[in-house]
Structure 1
Amino acid sequence: MRDSGPSGSGDVPTVLVRDAEGRDLLCFLEQLIPLDGSDYALLTPVDTPVSLFRLKDGDEPEPITTITSSEPILSVADVVLQEHDLTLVRSAVTLTVSGELDEPDPEDLEDEEEDEADEESETYELLVSFMVEKGEYGLYIPLDPFFVVARMVDGQAELVEGEDFDRIQPRIEAELDEREWPD
């Protein structure tokens, strides 16, 4: 039997991951992968991950990859999300949104993918857009699964990032492919 992550039972274990800046991210434990004498955890955030984009008329949305948690843009995003009974969380690894989100209809997503040619709209769905000073911004939900990799040490999850992540990612993917297609 293959361990495929969350099931209908609701008994999926959670793990708290902390980044170098002390921010936490609560995640579901999807897979545990032993490599080189260490256990690596493949995790998915409990809350919905979101990405911040700068919106420009007629241009593709531009991802904002570096932002401080005290940035005024995030304060405005907080207010806009509160209007939808959602909360912006400045988590480790990514921004997340907690609260009840409407799940997109998979058929609608397929139709949108067929209708639109730009790649960003196929991999992200706009959650909210808002104005800050004279610029327009949007929070987008990634449509592809968002995974976090952590090394398990004494029952604690240590975030794997930077060069460590670049080194271990291909090996984790190879292990997952092997689990997916047993001989």
Structure 2
Amino acid sequence: MSSSAYPQENGQSDLGSVTLIDEVGRRLNCSIEHTLEVDGEEFLLLMPRDTPIQIVAWDEEDEEDFADATLIEDDEEIDLLFPDAQAVLAEQNLTLKRTAYTLTVAGELPEMDEEEILTIEVEESDVELEPEEFQLLASFYHEEQEYGVYTPLDPLLFLARTNSKGEPELLSPEEFKKVQPLLEDLLFDELE
């Protein structure tokens, strides 16, 4: 590991932060959780400073009392739902933000209620992924459709590299797949 442009101690950030900017100019302030150098390239493990959230659409319950949850990821659909989600979160003194790569909220989250935990099993072709758990923050209706606003229980992390301008940029999915084993090995070695 060589010297980095970002402050760190034992690989861990101490107040270092960067801002990710997406293709439409939205910003996401992140703290630098870890920096690594692999083959002369610097990689940053980033965590949003505000709390990430996810909007979930609920399908009608069937005869077995199960409902299907669908994560809302389409930008146009998020734009339609944003005012309603913003209003229900404001009732809890939470400020919804349209940030880069994920929606976030600022403010103090309510205490976790075990009965309000949603477990979602994400399916990808030929890959078995761990189920993700989310805490319900609020629910609302839009055009007779029920939605929930949830925050993940596990931290949302981004992997970026420092580009030639010294700015962070996210890795593409293909780049991430190539670098992931190296980063996991380095992080594991540093934790020992």
Instruction: State if a TM-score over 0.5 links the two structures.
Output: yes
The range that moved more, 159-168 or 47-56, is 159-168
Q: Measured at CA, do residues 40 and 127 of structure 1 come closer, stay the same or move farther in structure 2, by a change above 3 Å?
A: same
In structure 2, C-alpha distance between the alignment counterparts of 1:66 and 1:168, rounded to whole Å: 28
Alignment partner, residue 8 of structure 1? none
Secondary structure of 2:76's partner?
coil
> 1:63 and 2:79 equivalent?
no
Alignment partner of 1:148 is 2:158: yes
Which ranges of structure 2 fall in alignment gaps of 5 or more residues? 1-8, 121-130
CA positional deviation for 1:103: 4.3
Instruction: Using the TM superposition, give the Cα deviation of residue 37 of structure 1 relative to its aligned residue in structure 2, in angstroms.
Output: 1.3
Q: CA–CA distance in 2 between the matches of 1:41 and 1:14?
A: 10
C-alpha distance in structure 1 between counterparts of 2:172 and 2:76, whole Å: 18
| Structure richer in strand, relative to its length | 2
4+ runs of 1 displaced by more than 6 Å?
Answer: none
Question: Quick one: distance in 2 between partners of 1:21 and 1:129?
Answer: 28
Q: Identity of aligned pairs, percent?
A: 37
Aligned position for 2:88 = 80
- Amino acid aligned to 2:175: D
2:143 aligned partner, one-letter code: E
Summarize the Cα distance change of 1:39–1:45 in structure 2 as closer, same or farther, 3 Å threshold. Answer: same
Query: What are structure 1's unaligned runs of at least 5 residues?
Result: 6-10
Task: Figure out how many residues of one structure are paired with residues of the other and give that number.
Answer: 168
Q: Deviations over 1:109-147 (max 9, x none)?
A: 5xx69xx8x743961111111100010111111111210
2:109 corresponds to which letter in structure 1? L
Distance 1:52 1:28 in 2: 23
Offset of residue 83 of structure 1: 1.5
How far apart in 2 are the matches of 1:22 and 1:32?
25
Q: Do the aligned partners of 1:49 and 1:142 also contact (CA within 8 Å) in 2?
A: yes
User: What is the rounded CA distance, in whole Å, between the counterparts of 2:89 and 2:173 in structure 1?
Assistant: 31
Q: Could you tell me how far apart the structure 1 residues matched to 2:77 and 2:58 are?
A: 20
Take 1:52 and 1:148, find their aligned partners in 2: how far apart are those partners?
A: 19
Take 1:140 and 1:176, find their aligned partners in 2: how far apart are those partners?
29
**For residues 31-180 of structure 1, what are the structure 2 equivalents within 5 Å?**
31-56=34-59, 57=61, 58-68=66-76, 71-104=79-112, 109=114, 119-120=119-120, 123-153=133-163, 154-180=165-191
What secondary structure sits across from 1:73 in the alignment?
Answer: helix
Change (3 A) 1:93 1:133: same
| Cα distance, 1:65 vs structure 2 | 2.5
Greater share of residues in helix: 1
Q: How far apart, CA to CA, are the structure 2 residues paired with 1:171 and 1:68?
A: 36
In structure 2, the residue corresponding to 1:59 is in which secondary structure? Answer: coil
